[in-house]
Amino acid sequence: MRLAAYNSASVIRLRVVWGESVETSEKSWVLKRNCAMSPRQLGKAFIGLGLASLVISMAWALSGAWVVVPFVVLEWGALAVAFLVYARHATDHERVTLNQDKVSVQVVRGERADVYELPREWLRCQFSEGRDQKVILKNRHRELEVGRFVDICGRRRFYEEFRAALAA
């Protein structure tokens, strides 16, 4: 049986999904962007903006200002490109799962999903204090940056929680 509790704070844009299973004692963190709209809501907004622009441009065109119509078409094209880029990356996230023998990191960017598995006994977790302040998971053969989709406060919070869970 898997229990999950959600702890989210809008200020630091970090959603932690705690899941402790009785059999595996697995913990999981989901680090994702704080997107204001889902892709479906974005599509509805695009249709609404498009219809509003169409009505306004047709009113101007009927009053004799036909030059407005090509600019509305350009506006639709620019909005479509911006919305497609936003929609493609609205669900980007990282899922870090810690179980007894390994750490699994799933990174989803656009349509691509990569999974990295690191043995727990060789794993070190570091927080770089430089300008970028990254969370780095290291073992003997691989170095993996985690937390690129959350802000610095969210990275620090994840680092502290992950290190405590790793030490336990």
pTM of the predicted model, to two decimals? 0.66
Position with higher pLDDT, 63 vs 19: 63
Burial call 47-80: b when 16+ CB within 10 Å, e when fewer: eeeeeebeeebeeeeeeeeeebeeebeeebeeee
Task: Please report the pLDDT score of residue 94 as a whole number.
Answer: 92
pLDDT digits (tens, 9 = 90+) for 19-32: 444 445 788 899 98
- Is residue 126 predicted with pLDDT exceeding 90? no
Predicted pLDDT at 24: 52
What are the extents of the domains in the chain? 2-33+94-167, 39-89
* pLDDT beyond 90 at 59: yes
